[in-house]
Amino acid sequence: MRNKIASIWPLFFGMLLIGLCVGAQGTLIGLRAALEGFPNTLTGLIMSAYYLGFLLGAHRGQKVIRRVGHVRTFAALTALSSLCVLLHSIYVNPWAWAATRFLTGFAMCGIYLVAESWLNQAADDSNRGKILSLYMITLLGGILGGQFLLNLADPQSFELFSLISILMSAAAIPILVTATPTPAVTPAPTISPLKLFQWAPFGLIGVFLIQMCAAMIFGMAPVYANMKGFNTQDVAWIMASFVAGALLLQWPLGLLADKFNRRTVATALTGIAGFFAIVSGLFGEQSFIILLICIGLFGGFTLPLYAVFCALVNDFMRPEKIVAASSTVLLVGGVGASIGPVLTAPLLDQLGPKGFFWGCAATLLLICLYGLYRMARFPYAARQDMHEMSMLPGGNIGTGLLNTEKHDTANINQRDGEQPKEQ
């Protein structure tokens, strides 16, 4: 294991810097848009553009990697992302920002594809889960730390944008000088969303809505904080609380979903997450510390749910269909994420700052209600033997295509050759 980590440390260091940039840039753009007086609707479109770019990256990224290779792709996309950061500070215009956020989303998806395919080659069945866990901890740790970069300068100045651009450019250096062999990229098979919905409706609906909620958090929480009158330091703590909660609860919630019926766990956790979203809206105004605790619990129970729903979808796939299903899950989740910020904007306009929490709560409780309906309508769901759940958070942090499961071809109450279906 140590030899494996030693051989790929440049990738981990590069992704730590990427995490710092992703965490700082996402919050900075939302906060700066609010400070510039952009209408909430336009801010929502700007934040949604990132996820639309991410979708394009998921569709075209592997073709780019196959054509020019991993190292050149990583270098080109970090350069593109670094350029986009600077353009935000040079030309302050909502439509220009939407275009640059779209390009940033495309670049980040390609960067994640390079990193995760590289990790897939470096890992084997005995350590893939550990390496993926370390990768996600590194990335989330960077995103958490990136929130506090906002305290280094005025968000309306050039300095923060230039710092993020420098860090993004620096992330390519360890990758460019590494001698580690790069993996081959093969075309990813696909399954249509309609077919996947027929096999695992609750899992796929859960992916769509939980990514919508995660995009609301990462895209519009800074706007909520600005509407409440919080200063830059407070905004950093609010966003850090979301990520810290996810870091702390990702592993125990994953163990819970592996130990018990995944559909029941997912339904219960979405209900709990919705409850803490409501609590954050109702009682967060009592003190800033109470708000941070509520937000930490809200984010902690919300962001890890993406991994639970991905695993729930995989439970109904034959082993040879897992990769194809993962590609479709990424597509469906990306569509949900691109919608989230746009839907949040009118809620903020009509309901004020609390509209942020009410929108998130409604989304989470909708998943919970659908889960309760599925459980009442179909008490038993035939499924594959349970796959080990990976540590993948929501909000398009990573692509979600890196697989940690050891698949068992046996399945429960299923005729040979028949695709299992969630009832």
Write down the domain spans for the chain: 2-178+189-377
The residues near 35 (Cβ < 8 Å, ≥ 6 apart) are 155, 156, 226
| pLDDT value, residue 4 | 63
Residue 409: Cβ-neighbour burial (10 angstroms; 0-12, 13-18, 19+): exposed
Dist. CA 285–CA 227, nearest whole Å: 13
| pLDDT value, residue 259 | 83
Dist. CA 247–CA 407, nearest whole Å: 26
| Closest listed residue to residue 309, CA positions, set 367, 385, 380 | 367
Two tokens, residue 316: 């109904």
Dist. CA 143–CA 139, nearest whole Å: 6
| Closest listed residue to residue 119, CA positions, set 16, 9, 22, 21 | 9
The residues near 91 (Cβ < 8 Å, ≥ 6 apart) are none
Dist. CA 8–CA 5, nearest whole Å: 5
SS3 for the chain, per residue?
A: CHHHHHHCHHHHHHHHHHHHHHHHHHHHHHHHHHHCCCCHHHHHHHHHHHHHHHHHHHHHHHHHHHHHCHHHHHHHHHHHHHHHHHHHHHCCCHHHHHHHHHHHHHHHHHHHHHHHHHHHHHCCCCCHHHHHHHHHHHHHHHHHHHHHHHHHCCCCCCHHHHHHHHHHHHHHHHHHCCCCCCCCCCCCCCCCHHHHHHHCHHHHHHHHHHHHHHHHHHHHHHHHHHHCCCCHHHHHHHHHHHHHHHHHHHHHHHHHHHHCCHHHHHHHHHHHHHHHHHHHHHHCCCCHHHHHHHHHHHHHHHCCHHHHHHHHHHCCCCHHHHHHHHHHHHHHHHHHHHHHHHHHHHHHHHHCCCHHHHHHHHHHHHHHHHHHHHHHHCCCCCCECCCCCCCCCCCCCCCCCCCCCCCCCCECCCCCCCCCCCC
| pLDDT value, residue 18 | 94
Specify the CATH architecture of the domain 2-178+189-377: Up-down Bundle (1.20)
Judge whether 54 and 334 are in contact, CB under 8 Å.
yes
| pLDDT value, residue 289 | 94
Dist. CA 136–CA 390, nearest whole Å: 10
Judge whether 278 and 303 are in contact, CB under 8 Å.
no
The residues near 333 (Cβ < 8 Å, ≥ 6 apart) are 207, 208, 210, 211, 306, 394, 396, 400
Dist. CA 177–CA 26, nearest whole Å: 28
| pLDDT value, residue 297 | 96
| Closest listed residue to residue 224, CA positions, set 334, 351, 122 | 351
- pTM for the model stands at 0.83
| pLDDT value, residue 391 | 52
| pLDDT value, residue 404 | 45
Judge whether 15 and 138 are in contact, CB under 8 Å.
yes
| pLDDT value, residue 176 | 84
Dist. CA 386–CA 94, nearest whole Å: 46
For tokens 């940033």, the residue is 104
pLDDT truncated to tens, each residue of the chain (423 aa)? Answer: 566 666 678 888 999 999 999 999 999 999 999 999 999 999 999 999 999 999 898 888 778 888 888 888 899 999 999 999 999 999 999 999 999 999 999 999 889 888 877 776 766 656 666 777 788 888 889 999 999 999 999 999 899 999 999 999 999 998 888 766 666 666 666 788 888 888 889 999 999 999 999 999 999 999 999 999 999 999 999 999 999 999 898 888 878 887 888 889 999 999 999 999 999 999 888 889 999 999 999 999 998 888 888 888 877 777 667 667 777 888 888 899 999 999 999 999 999 999 999 999 999 999 999 999 998 888 765 444 445 555 556 565 665 555 544 444 334 333 333 455 554
